[in-house]
Structure 1
Amino acid sequence: MYGPAPIVVPARVAHNIKGTRRAIETIPNCLHGFVIPLPKSRRGSTALLLFQCACTGFVMGKAMADTTALRVGQAFEECVNRRFGAPPLIRHDRDPRFMSEVFPAFAGVMRSRSRATLSYRPQANGQQERSVKNVMQSVRVYTEDPLQQDWDEIAEKLIFAINNSTDATRKETPFYLVHGWDAHSTLGAMTSPFKQGNGRQSDALKWRREVN
């Protein structure tokens, strides 16, 4: 069995994160919150749950149809715990789904501390509130058209874009801070001299345009 993937903080950016001396073994402080309510998608999703590493700014998301406390705990285990291991501290707002007995008990099983913050306290959850606001604005603009019922698919691409945007404070992208390398997007491939043809080339070109 392999252990959780470490968050690699490269030497050239380590000085931007106070107290960094080595690769971080797990997410030290995980923030999370809901983008809700949203129109029902083709997959049946009505809410978007966001998780964010307070150290690197890396965002993870899960479109959900069921937003009960138990389902939130399961989404946390799927998006965060399986990839990085259990974080020592989980911060959240005072949403009833996070304040019920189920979620603190779930955090206790993972030996994580669960802490609620005030509705908006910049020192504690300001970063997460801003990320939620950015995602919410983008998704809501897209979902204003009743025919657009694939917002949960668009949200996944939006989160990828956020993780590959240079952070003004850290001077690097969250993706780079987590993985140690820059992500290669298919957007660059759109400018390549890839001509229409038959067979595999035509299919590849069609797919590339769809994902962008």
Structure 2
Amino acid sequence: MCGVDYGVAHVAIIMDGNGRWATNRGWPRLAGHRRGAERIKQIVRTAPDMGVRYLTVYAFSTENWKRSTEEVLGLMGIFARYIEKEADELASLGVRMRFIGERGRLDGKLARLMGGIEERTKDNTRLTLTVAINYGGRNELARAAARLARDHAAGLISAEDLGEEALAARLDTVGLPDPDLVIRTSGETRTSNFLAWQAAYAEYEFTETLWPEFTPEELAKILSRFGTRDRRFGGAKA
């Protein structure tokens, strides 16, 4: 598995099934989220050896605020501890860490930790790990459109330039290539408002595996299957 480049530069993952994994064992849902965070560490360590240069994971959606206060607060604590505990290792592995989503609603300490690790790892190039927290694709598009409207009103962009490139330049993911492959774990087959713009031409893979059980070996198998797909991006089949 290690050292094989499968030709997939950007993988995005909807990490689903943490709560179900814990519930199946009679454990609190937060135990599943903690195990899920451990799984991210393993995938981050091994993904570059498979040719992956960009890894984007869906950690907390704009809709996840509907969950219980206990679970939401617990998740925010897990995010903060992950950043604090993994900062040194991420830096030593050459991982750049980025966050997408709306930060205004997040706890101040968590937001500061996010900004700190982004600054610390900004020059790393082995892998870019992007974590979506308080993120929703529709919310991102609405915020980008609002920025575009403000820039137009301020005379920074002309009406003739109000196109796809201008909007894309105001998305949270500016500077990142679009994902080649989106993986969703846990057997669900929804896209759940994840990278609505960026994944327009991505390939999708849905696996029954719950996220805490998703291994580098399964990732390698999925990447290998990706190589057999004919990606035409709207063009005719040869």
TM-score, reference length from structure 2 = 0.29
Relative CO higher for 1 or 2, CA cutoff 8 Å, sep ≥ 6?
2
Which of the pair is proportionally richer in helix? Answer: 2
